[in-house]
Amino acid sequence: MKGAEFLVKALEREGVEIIFGYPGGAIMPVYDALLDSKIRHILVRHEQAAALAADGYARATGKVGVCMATSGPGATNLVTGIANAYMDSVPMVAITGQVPTHLMGTDAFQEVDIFGITLPVVKHSFLVQTSEELPRVVHEAFQIARSGRPGPVLIDLPKNVAAGSADFAYHDNEFDEHPPVPHAGSLAQAAELINASRRPIVYAGGGVGMACAVDEFREFIERTRIPVVSTLKGLGAIPTEHELFLGMMGMHGTKAANYAVQACDLLICVGARFDDRATGKLSGFAPHAKVVHMDVDPSEIGKLRHADAPVAGNLRWALVALARDLEITAWQRHCLALKESHAWNYDAPGPGVYAPFFLKRLSQLAGKNVIVACDVGQHQMWVAQHFDFCRPEQHLSSGGLGTMGFGLPAAIGAQLACPDSCVINVSGDGSMMMNLQELATLRRYDLPVKIVLFDNRALGMVRQWQELFHSRRYSEVDLSDNPDFVQVAESMRIPAIRVEQQKDVEWSVRRLLSEPGPVLAHVLIHQEANVWPIVGPGMTNSEMLDEVPS
């Protein structure tokens, strides 16, 4: 059997149903073998989109997303997507073709050291030098990608190894993928702190969903009745409409969430990593709080904030062990009062579309079986603030890397993963241009993704920062020469509508959701619309701005 044939069969054995990729010279043997496989290959129009689609697929399902590209520029085009998966701990296997082994190191045509290039942005990587290594490499790649703290794994496959023949046997080593049970002493420490706290807050991150610990997390909250804040990736760990959910915390978090965290005496961090977007100025973050830090990755505990009770290991186990009744009624009332007094106001400031209201209405009409894949920028923050999520896997957002162009490919991956779900891509004019070519992929596979493109004719978030923190010195944020996005979509045979007035929000949202196939809504918003509140650079989460300083 040829190496490529074995690779494809091994992928089938690992449960791979879809590969996102783009062919080329070095990877050609694998594309030949794919013709005889039941694995469905999705042809994108840029390899970056292959990696981002695999990422979206993985976020929506919890399964390992698989992408593939040829050597050289094909491989380097995957790098942003691999780094994106690394920063957000997404399970992915990226397969790259490589020049034949006898040409490696000679600057051959389309040769790059993709193994070396991706070393800092992969969980692990393999260069397959002989056919005999293939069975072990494929099996280990998937185990590593999905176990513990998930992440991307690269398999670099020289062409002669793919084309060569050998007798292959599947590799089935025994590898315990279950995270270790937390140390009993750590749990006892954490329990003591929880019992003694009077003003606890739970700070939930993306780890809750990735550990498949949502049910245990919700039981913990229902038992303890501790108010909850979340990171961007933690949204949906508890339904965002739950009374105890105070909102996202941090740079564009809700006032209630930020004030509560700053006042708490115990911060219970569950599957989060004290990222600077969440904490603001670290030295001023949760200044009165002791910390219980629960995470599967011991290297995150104590990395940025000392943990008074470090709880490393199996999150589900820890949450069950620590669930208990608490008497914190006064604190609960305080937090709920904060939530009420700082509730969002959806009054549109003028006749133009008010993006937060649009998203709120979309959320209300889209129903529960919805997945939202965002791009990066102001619209991303508005989604986090105003869209309601029931589960973390409904909200696909590039958090750690903040990759513009993520949204449409991720939506493609999510729609293929969940064909019965309503998948919405919320994007901006800057982000949409970065992977615009994937509208063709949407059409090719008839994927019914609903695209909401907020167009402010600017690189909005950067414009906002230049307005607030660079004395309105606007540098390279003018996108007033955008194409007509309706015409662009229609040229790709995707229906499109334009929305310009607040009075058009209701019909346009309903029109969007009722379209059976893909559709794009080009929503014009005010060029100077800002995301509020904002915690500026060097500021603590107590110091939120909610208007432009005079």
Catalytic residues: 47, 109-110, 159, 461
Q: Shortest gap between Cβ of 542 and other proteins (angstroms)?
A: 23
Give the Cα separation of 263 and 334 in Å (integer): 10
Q: Shortest gap between Cβ of 295 and other proteins (angstroms)?
A: 11
Q: Shortest gap between Cβ of 118 and other proteins (angstroms)?
A: 10
Stretch of 39-47, 115-123, 327-335, 479-487 contacting other proteins, by CB under 8 A: 115-123
The single residue among 12, 105, 109, 116 that binds other proteins, judged by CB under 8 A, is 116
* Residues 147, 148, 149: CA angle, nearest 5 degrees: 110
Site string for other proteins, 250-289 (x = CB under 8 A): ----------------------------------------
Helix (H, G, I), strand (E, B) or coil at 436: helix
| # binding residues, other proteins (CB under 8 A) | 17
What are the distances in angstroms from CA 19 to CA 73, 83, 225, 546? 19, 18, 43, 44
Contact present, 61 and 393 (Cβ < 8 Å): yes
Q: Shortest gap between Cβ of 120 and other proteins (angstroms)?
A: 6
Q: By C-beta, is 269 or 505 nearer to other proteins?
A: 269
Applying CB under 8 A, does 196 fall inside the site for other proteins? no
Q: Shortest gap between Cβ of 192 and other proteins (angstroms)?
A: 20
Stretch of 113-121, 167-175, 233-241, 405-413 contacting other proteins, by CB under 8 A: 113-121
Give the Cα separation of 213 and 208 in Å (integer): 5
The single residue among 303, 443, 444, 526 that binds other proteins, judged by CB under 8 A, is 303
- Residue 230, H or E segment: strand 228-230
Give the Cα separation of 479 and 106 in Å (integer): 43
With residues binned 3-state (H G I as helix, E B as strand, rest as coil), the percentages for the chain, rounded to 5, are 40, 20, 40
Site string for other proteins, 134-163 (x = CB under 8 A): ----------x-------------------
Applying CB under 8 A, does 120 fall inside the site for other proteins? yes
Give the Cα separation of 237 and 437 in Å (integer): 33
The single residue among 20, 57, 126, 358 that binds other proteins, judged by CB under 8 A, is 126
Give the Cα separation of 340 and 247 in Å (integer): 12
Tokens 């004019």 sit at which residue?
429
Q: By C-beta, is 161 or 408 nearer to other proteins?
A: 161
Give the Cα separation of 255 and 253 in Å (integer): 6
Stretch of 19-27, 125-133, 342-350, 364-372 contacting other proteins, by CB under 8 A: 125-133
Stretch of 2-10, 122-130, 408-416, 530-538 contacting other proteins, by CB under 8 A: 122-130
Q: Shortest gap between Cβ of 155 and other proteins (angstroms)?
A: 12
Contact present, 72 and 427 (Cβ < 8 Å): no
Applying CB under 8 A, does 297 fall inside the site for other proteins? yes
DSSP state string for 368-383: SSEEEEE-SSHHHHHH
Applying CB under 8 A, does 127 fall inside the site for other proteins? yes
Applying CB under 8 A, does 115 fall inside the site for other proteins? yes
Applying CB under 8 A, does 119 fall inside the site for other proteins? yes
Helical packing angle, 355-366 and 505-514, nearest 10°: 40
The single residue among 25, 302, 352, 517 that binds other proteins, judged by CB under 8 A, is 302
Stretch of 30-38, 43-51, 295-303, 540-548 contacting other proteins, by CB under 8 A: 295-303
Q: By C-beta, is 299 or 487 nearer to other proteins?
A: 299
Which amino acid, residue 507?
A: W
Q: By C-beta, is 177 or 490 nearer to other proteins?
A: 177
The single residue among 125, 421, 456, 464 that binds other proteins, judged by CB under 8 A, is 125
Q: By C-beta, is 134 or 451 nearer to other proteins?
A: 134
* Neighbouring C-beta atoms of residue 478, cutoff 10 Å: 12
Q: By C-beta, is 120 or 549 nearer to other proteins?
A: 120
Q: By C-beta, is 18 or 138 nearer to other proteins?
A: 138
Which of 41, 20, 147 is closest to 411 using CA atoms? 20
Applying CB under 8 A, does 90 fall inside the site for other proteins? no
Give the Cα separation of 78 and 533 in Å (integer): 35
Which own/partner contact pairs does 509-517 have at CB distance under 8 Å and 24+ positions apart? 509/358, 509/361, 509/362, 509/365, 510/365, 512/362, 512/450, 512/452, 513/362, 513/365, 513/366, 513/422, 513/450, 515/448, 515/450, 516/448, 517/446, 517/448
Stretch of 46-54, 85-93, 291-299, 532-540 contacting other proteins, by CB under 8 A: 291-299
Applying CB under 8 A, does 129 fall inside the site for other proteins? yes
Binding residues for other proteins, rule: CB under 8 A, are: 115-116, 119-120, 123-127, 129, 144, 297-299, 302-303, 306
